[in-house]
Amino acid sequence: MLEVKKIIQHKEAYTEALKKRNFDASSLFDQIISLDEKRRATQAQLDELLAQSNQLSKEIGVLFKAGKAQEANQLKEQTADLKNSTKTLNEQMTQAQKELENLLYEVPNIPHPSVPAGKSEADNEELKRAGHVPELHEKALPHWELAKKYDIIDFELGNKITGAGFPVYKGKGAILQRALITYFLAKNAKAGYTEYQVPLVVNEASGFGTGQLPDKEGQMYHVTEDDLYLIPTAEVPLTNMYRGDLLTEEQLPIKCTGFTPCFRREAGSYGAHVRGLNRLHQFDKVEIVNFVEPSTSYQVLDEMVNHVEGILTELKLPYRILRLCGGDLGFTSALTFDFEVFSTAQDKWLEVSSVSNFETFQANRLKIRYKNKDKKKNLIHTLNGSALALPRILAGILENYQTPEGIKVPDVLLPFTGFDTID
């Protein structure tokens, strides 16, 4: 959520910057500024009435001590009127604050100057392409056929148990999945991230805090009776661990990682592009989250990008790095780099990670601040990234490592699997 004071200070610049997102903020900013002026005027009236009420209370005490009960009671009638007026102004303040917050929730984050303009993923900027794309044998199969051939993932059984998009991993498929999770967490721990096991359901405040609500409410599974939401990513509970906290500069940076299943309704997703592991309603992912002092956040973003790239390099998968354009940028992000792995059997790129800097956007919603050396309170910067999302990584491994004799296991995973081939 943008800060109102910064919207007032940088209205024209923010309006122009949001055009990269194809978002016209001019009317919305006018409403926000007008409502904020109303809120501040109401606050000034309220402060004045409270000051008058406090003064009268002191005078009443003096009069009672002086034995002037009649005069004191007359002043008490005035304080009763002031209390009624104060109550009305408090209600107006609450309403204005709620309306202001609802307007602010509609405004996406300001894109970083390096974000290219564009309307869709077709306008994303490719920064790097690396890794070897193997030449597959003539009878090479896409991963959903390989999963069936080697009996390692059962999509039909998942459909029987729950529905489409909830696969069942079996035998070596389940072991390979677990090996990837263990490997990712080990790599993150080595990079200084503290591992957490977090809840898989969150309350509404957590969803609003990280920006999934109200922006992606229709994509989240909602447990209506308890008003809880199944998490779409570990980013939500990990980031909310510090909601409302005042940190010290010495505590920063805070580096967190966690493995969780993730749940996304993916409403309206149909067609060949969602076959197999390409898009699921439930999938596993290992996440990294950073809480940092603002001046360091873009250095940390680069470090996170390098970290994810290092994992893909060790897995020996062909990959590319994209800088997302304004039209493809997530609502809460200021700058995002996507990693995609090449699916050789499908002849297409599959997104496996997004690494983003949210600057103060999430921290303002979450009210996460830190006290610097001058004892001033400032909003922190938050960042997060997938390290990594498993379904498409697994798809990439199955397809790129397939041979006529079976599917080879990447060397880096051998300590975690206990086998080197799926056959």
Backbone angles phi and psi of 64, in degrees to 5: -65, -40
Q: Which amino acid is at 107?
A: V
The closest of 177, 139, 171, 142 to 157, measured between CA atoms, is 171
Task: Kindly list the strands in the beta sheet with 201-203, ordered across the sheet, starting from the edge strand earlier in the chain.
Answer: 201-203, 228-230, 222-223
**Angle 231-319-177 from CA coordinates, rounded to 5°:** 45
| Separation of alpha carbons 219 and 210, rounded Å | 15
Helix, strand or coil, per DSSP, at residue 339? strand
- For the annotated binding site for ATP, the residues are 264-266, 351-354
Phi-psi region of 347 (alpha: psi -120 to 50; beta: other; left: phi over 0): left
Maximum distance among all Cα pairs of the chain, rounded to whole angstroms: 106
First to last CA, the chain: 51
| Separation of alpha carbons 289 and 255, rounded Å | 6
- For the annotated binding site for L-serine, the residues are 233, 264, 287, 384
| Separation of alpha carbons 353 and 312, rounded Å | 10
Helix, strand or coil, per DSSP, at residue 134? coil
Q: Are strands 369-371 and 246-248 parallel, antiparallel or unpaired?
A: parallel
- For the annotated binding site, the residues are 233, 264-266, 287, 351-354, 384
Q: Are strands 201-203 and 222-223 parallel, antiparallel or unpaired?
A: unpaired
Helix axes 297-315 and 171-190, enclosed angle (nearest 10): 140
| Separation of alpha carbons 177 and 274, rounded Å | 20
Say if CB 317 and CB 131 are below 8 A apart: yes
155: which residues sit within 8 A by CB, 6+ positions away?
144, 147, 164, 167, 168, 276
The closest of 396, 407, 346, 405 to 171, measured between CA atoms, is 407
Helix, strand or coil, per DSSP, at residue 163? coil
